[in-house]
Amino acid sequence: MTEQTELERRYRRLLAWYPWAFREEHEQEILAVLMACAPKGQRRPALLESADLIRSGLWMRLRPRPPSSAPMVRAAVRLMYVGAAVCVANLAISIISLALNGPRGVTLRLGDRSQSLPVAITVGLVGCLLVVALWLWMARTTSQGRSWARIFSTVLFVLASLELISVASVSKMTLGLIFWAPTWVVSAASIWLLWRPASGAFFEMRRSGSASKEIVAAQS
């Protein structure tokens, strides 16, 4: 048995302390890094290196398991897709309403000027596409377990709440309030799900995927 083969076998024994699901995804990457960082002629892992691998593996096993938390996050992601669909529905209703009123009687006020129907439709279309893209992007990053996605989603929810309050305080804006309310409800529900303790466990588990990078830094 060569020195490299013996060292690899011992490293695999140490990596057995990690959860099976984590090893399935990261074992080869971690093993390649460990072997590349090993001094020439080394036959077994160093004592501190072995202790660090065992400690990290046990720590990951003691963390909350994703099956108990993933459903909450999946529900929040589905609500984000619903939010995107609501935006598209609102745009369609707005365009139909503007078209039925006729181009002469419909204007959109931007600053101190009143704009015609084509401008109103264009502004609404661009704004809707941006909001839909944002919903879809947040759904993707959330499903990937990005911790910052929860924070960013919360900030957007606060801004949406302020916008809803602004719309509600303006007279003769009943239609706008009807459009904003469903979006706000969907946002509130998704944020509530994302900040549940079970969802926090999911994001913590996802964050553990960076353990391989920590091992690379420790070995370098």
Residues 24 and 99 in one domain: no
| pLDDT over 60 (residue 215) | no
CA end-to-end span of the chain, whole Å? 27
Residues 18 and 103 in one domain: no
pLDDT at position 190 is 92
Residues 141 and 160 in one domain: yes
Residues 23 and 104 in one domain: no
- Nearest C-alpha neighbor of 183 from the set 203, 164, 155, 211: 164
For 61, the token pair is 């096993």
Residue 33 banded pLDDT, cuts 50, 70, 90? confident
Mean pLDDT of 76-93: 88
Residues 93 and 159 in one domain: yes
Where is pLDDT greater, at 147 or 134?
A: 134
Domain residues for the domain of 169 are: 71-203
Number of domains observed in the structure of the chain: 2
Consecutive H or E run containing 115: strand 113-115
Residues 113 and 50 in one domain: no
pLDDT at position 66 is 45
pLDDT at position 110 is 42
Q: What is the pLDDT of residues 135-192, one digit of tens each?
A: 999 988 888 788 888 899 999 899 888 877 876 776 455 556 667 788 889 999 999 9
Beta carbons within 8 Å of 106's beta carbon, 6+ residues apart: 98, 116, 117, 120
Phi, psi of 114 (to 5 degrees): -100, 130
Residues 40 and 89 in one domain: no
Rounded CA separation 200/123 (Å): 38
- Global pTM reads 0.58
